[in-house]
Amino acid sequence: MKYSVSEENYIKAIYHLQQEVDRVNTMLLASTLETKPASITDMLKKLKTKRLLDYKPYYGFKLSAEGNRVALSIVRRHRLWEFFLAEKLKFNWEEVHEMAEDLEHVSNKKLIDKLDAFLGYPKFDPHGDPIPDQDGKIQKEEHVLLSELKLKAQGRVTKIKSHSKKIMDLVAHQQINIGSRITVKKVFEFDESMEIVIDGKTTKNISQQLAKNIFIGNAQ
């Protein structure tokens, strides 16, 4: 089955919101898609008739099993393209998301599977988010916040919690990248700031607020 760009964007948005809140509603979806509630209702009805959504007017909605399958295939495309853009075309991993928003709607399965092979079947995208495989299976991320890492502990950066410009600015300036190996050298009791070594080379001091936004884990 082939879905329109709009349909795919709705499915994807619902999928992502469902990972974060236990009940997605019309208002929330309208604000994330920057559209009006009335437009949401229209699309909900459409997705319901296509059996991608369990939806009862006024009683809320959630993706059906099939809707979930479709969402995972969109997420797969998005993250594979992100990986391609960062790894092969050498884009900064902060700028790949937007371009992947367009590319994700190119849905030829054979193309996506060959792209996957070309990239070496990556398990995580440049943001550290897992890439679903052909069957929609996702490799579980096991990561802890850098702020919770013990003294002398070591690990690789797998993900930055928020992708806001403010955080990305700081993270980039501090030369902290996905895949960077971090060693905790010192934790200062006063403000819980920490001294870390990045890739065994650079030593940096970072605030607790920042450390609370950096995940260290098992990716790649």
Partner DNA sequence: ATTTTATTTTAGGTTTGTCTAAATTTTATA
Partner DNA sequence: TATAAAATTTAGACAAACCTAAAATAAAAT
Residue 172, phi then psi, degrees to nearest 5: -65, -45
Q: Which of 25, 32, 162, 202 binds DNA (CB under 7 A)?
A: 25
CA dihedral 128→131→136→138, nearest 10 degrees, is -40
Instruction: State yes or no: residue 146 binds DNA (CB under 7 A).
Output: no
Instruction: State yes or no: residue 190 binds DNA (CB under 7 A).
Output: no
Choice between 5 and 153, CB closer to a second copy: 5
C-beta separation of 179 from 216 below 8 A? no
Sole residue written with tokens 């075309």: 89
Q: Which of 16, 27, 111, 169 binds DNA (CB under 7 A)?
A: 27
Choice between 59 and 190, CB closer to DNA: 59
Choice between 26 and 174, CB closer to DNA: 26
Q: Where are the alpha helices (DSSP H) in 88-123?
A: 96-103, 109-119
CA dihedral 163→22→81→217, nearest 10 degrees, is 60
CB atoms within 10 A of CB 114: 11
- Spatial distance between the Cα atoms of 11 and 9, rounded to a whole number of angstroms: 6
Q: Please tell me the count of residues contacting a second copy according to CB under 8 A.
A: 14
C-beta separation of 178 from 158 below 8 A? yes
Instruction: State yes or no: residue 114 binds DNA (CB under 7 A).
Output: no
Q: Which of residues 77-96 bind a second copy (CB under 8 A)?
A: 85, 88-91
Is the sign of the CA dihedral 94, 163, 5, 87 positive or negative?
Answer: positive
Residue 36 contact, options DNA, a second copy, none, Cβ 5-8 Å cut-off depending on partner type: DNA
Q: Which of 2, 21, 58, 150 binds DNA (CB under 7 A)?
A: 58
- Binding span for DNA by CB under 7 A among 31-39, 91-99, 127-135, 158-166: 31-39
By CB under 8 A, name the binding residues for a second copy: 85, 88-91, 99, 102-103, 106, 108, 111, 114-115, 118
**List of residues contacting DNA (CB under 7 A):** 4-7, 10, 25-28, 34-46, 55, 57-60
